[in-house]
Amino acid sequence: MLFEEYQYFQYQFPEPQYLGAKHTLLPWINQFIPKNTKIALDAFAGSQSVGYLFKQLGYKVITNDFLNFNNQIGKALIENSDIKLEKDDLQLLFQPSNNKDKFKLIEEIFTNVFFEREEAEFLDNFRANIPLLDSDYKQALAFTVINRSMTRKITMGHFGHTQALVYANDPERVKRNRSLIRPIKEIFEELLPKYNNAIFDNKQDNQSYNLNILALLPNIENVDLAYFDPPYCDSHADYQGFYHLLETYTEYWKEKDFVNGIKRYEPQRFSGFDKKRDVISSFEKLFELSENIPNWLISYNNRSYPGIEEFEKLISKYRNVKIETKTYQNGRGGKGSVAGSQEILFVCSPKKKHSVGAPIVSNNHKEQSVNEGHISYEIIEKMKDRNDPFCMDVLTTLKNEKLQILKEVQENPKTLATWLYENQGEMRFGSENRLFLVLVDTDDFGNSWKLKRNLDLLKPAILNYLDNFKNKKIDDLQVNFEFKGKPQPFTALTDIIFVVK
Ligand SMILES: C[S@@+](CC[C@H](N)C(=O)[O-])C[C@H]1O[C@@H](n2cnc3c(N)ncnc32)[C@H](O)[C@@H]1O
């Protein structure tokens, strides 16, 4: 078909109102997308504007944001290929709920903060009815449109201030923006057709995730292009401060505190990209974990930390990099953009050849381990952050347990080798003889992966192992193992070189 590339461009992404959203920059970004892309990742997807562009381009899209209200947009507009909200669904969503007693959070916490009581009650009632919709995609669409309706109604479209009701009573402001006084139900009904009409099938198995990107990356494969649009550290990076209400509404938190005038939930999720103290090591980890993705596009701003030159140096360790810039004439661009600030795109290509193309590994077992890794990562980072005697005690206990496990597997490497064979990914399954290299940083177990660059440490350990290999007995190297879904038992010769710092 002629112009096949543009066949999905008849669909329109509904205009978002989200700090740093790239919907106005899509034609500019599109110029730098490598044309042989088949599978694309939108790693910090926010409003999902770039993920939606990837879908329009016909790619298989993996989209992700660590905030669930953004993931709901991904499910509704990117993963979903054909399910819309119909008239019957609206009746169900607007009907008086039988479950009112359990759904009072918005009324109790946010009345007179962002809404009058009646609007807060409407939101609770609607929220109580969402689970009655018989499809996850309908539910995702209901969250997407009601959340967008809330940003329409509140001045400046975010919840990081307490002026909503003051402005809604200011005739001058209302004259400029009538949504401030319109009922949310009316705004919802106006927006819904735009969202229904944006749903389409690009004939790919697209996926939306709700994970810290550092937990997702080890579990996806064969991605050709990663788009990274992280928070701009030091400049409007606190997405949970600005959009806490949408996350609270989606998650309907039961066990959080609601703090400050804006009633932001506490504790927050751990980002790793929003605070100066974390951001460099998070980027290093991001880039290490993206080693197998050949092309990267990274959005940035000249007012962020680290500065452009330092950031370029960091990226250059992994990729060839070209810098593209676009200067804002007014303040309506990316994150916290102001007139004269520059939107930057690092266009990164591989230093060596990578292969492209095969499908992604995904199964329940894998998803479960992604989630476990994600939860444990978040808990440990939070505890390090908190640094009080209780947390330090827990971290010390965890460290001692890990040291004990390390001691046991060093004394009996077969137990770990068997585990490694039995827990390998299904798509990469192999029963051939293997020599494993296990790297352990006993000061910081979570960052042990960084040792793989430490040749001064690796080389002597490997040479020492090889020099003494002649003393090994073959019987000591034999393991027997099973693999789920395969009827026969397996036997292999294997050993482990431990590199411990
Ligand atoms: C600049 S915004 C992305 C804007 C997006 N490109 C758009 O067009 O709307 C950055 C996003 O990163 C998300 N985020 C922050 N830390 C994250 C993490 N560790 N993993 C995944 N997402 C994260 C935030 O929730 C926010 O939505």
Q: pLDDT 10s per residue in the chain (501 long)?
A: 445 678 899 999 999 999 999 999 999 999 999 989 999 999 999 999 999 999 999 999 999 999 999 999 999 999 999 999 999 999 999 999 999 999 999 999 999 999 999 999 999 999 999 999 999 999 999 999 999 999 999 988 999 999 988 888 899 988 988 888 899 999 999 999 999 999 999 999 999 999 999 999 999 999 999 999 999 998 788 999 999 999 999 999 989 999 999 999 999 999 999 999 999 999 999 999 999 999 999 999 988 999 999 999 999 999 999 999 998 665 544 444 555 678 999 999 998 654 444 333 344 444 555 566 667 777 887 888 788 888 888 888 888 889 999 999 999 999 999 999 998 877 678 899 999 999 999 988 877 887 888 888 999 999 999 999 999 998 889 999 999 888 899 999 999 999 999
Beta strands 60-64; 39-42: pairing state: parallel
* CB of 481 closer than 8 Å to CB of 489: yes
Query: What is the per-residue pLDDT for 291?
Result: 94
Phi then psi for 379, rounded to 5 degrees? -65, -45
- Residues 207 and 63: beta-carbon distance below 8 Å: yes
Residue nearest to atom 12 of ligand 1 (CA): 44
Beta strand 225-228 with 39-42 is parallel
User: Which residue's structure tokens are 């201030």?
Assistant: 161
Q: How far is the C-alpha of 79 from the C-alpha of 74, rounded, in Å?
A: 6
Grouping H, G, I as helix, E, B as strand and the rest as coil, residue 159 is coil
Ligand 1 binding pocket includes 219 (Cβ within 6 Å): no
- Across the strands, what pairs with 209? 64
Nearest CA to ligand 1 atom 7: 21
| Residue 239: its H or E element | helix 239-242
Ligand 1 atom with the shortest distance to the CA of 232? 1
The protein residue with its alpha carbon nearest to ligand 1, atom 27, reads: 46
Distance (Å) of CA 417 to CA 161, 314, 409, 448, 477: 54, 35, 9, 18, 10
492, two tokens? 């292999």
Domains of the chain by range and CATH? 4-350 (3.40.50.150), 406-500 (no CATH)
Q: Which atom of ligand 1 lies at the shortest distance from residue 22's CA?
A: 8
d(CA 33, CA 36): 9
**212 pocket-lining for ligand 1 (C-beta < 6 Å):** yes
Distance spanning both ends of the chain, measured CA to CA: 58
Tally of CA atoms within 13 A in the half-sphere of 387 that contains its CB:
1
Alpha-carbon distance 44 to 229, whole Å? 6
**From CA 300, how far away is CA 308, in angstroms rounded?**
8
22 Cβ inside 6 Å of ligand 1: yes
pLDDT of residue 3: 59
Q: Give CA–CA dist 83/70, Å, rounded.
A: 18
pLDDT of residue 339: 59
46 CA distance to ligand 1 centroid (A)? 5
Burial class (CB in 10 A: 0-12, 13-18, 19+), 94: middle
Query: DSSP E strands: which ranges in 158-230?
Result: 207-209, 225-228
Q: Are strands 264-266 and 225-228 parallel, antiparallel or unpaired?
A: unpaired
CB of residue 319 inside a 6 A radius of ligand 1:
no
Q: How far is the CA of 471 from the centre of ligand 1 (A)?
A: 53
Q: Which two tokens stand for residue 397?
A: 């206990």
Amino acid identity at 446: G
Which token pair is 6?
Answer: 């543009």
For ligand 1, mutation pick of 19, 65, 268 (most atoms within 8 Å of CB): 65
The string of DSSP letters for 429-498 reads ---S-EEEEEEE-TT-GGGGGGGGG-HHHHHHHHHHHHHTGGG--GGGGEEEE--TT--S-EEEEEEEEE
DSSP state, 111?
A: B
The residue among 154, 144, 229, 257 whose CA lies nearest residue 194 is 144
Adjacent-strand bridge partners of 478: 493
Q: Is the CB of 335 under 6 A from ligand 1?
A: yes
Rounded to whole angstroms, the Cα distance separating 15 from 103 reads 30
pLDDT for position 484? 86
Q: Torsions phi, psi of 321, nearest 5?
A: -135, 140
Q: Whose CA is nearest to atom 3 of ligand 1?
A: 46
pLDDT value at position 382? 80
Distance CA 468, CA 46 (A): 53
Whole-number CA gyration radius for the chain: 25
Closest CA to 212 of 257, 141, 269: 269
Local structure of 113: helix, strand or coil: coil
- Global pTM reads 0.75
Contact, 323 vs 344, CB < 8 A? yes
Q: Ligand 1: which atom is nearest the Cα of residue 47?
A: 9
pLDDT attached to residue 354: 44
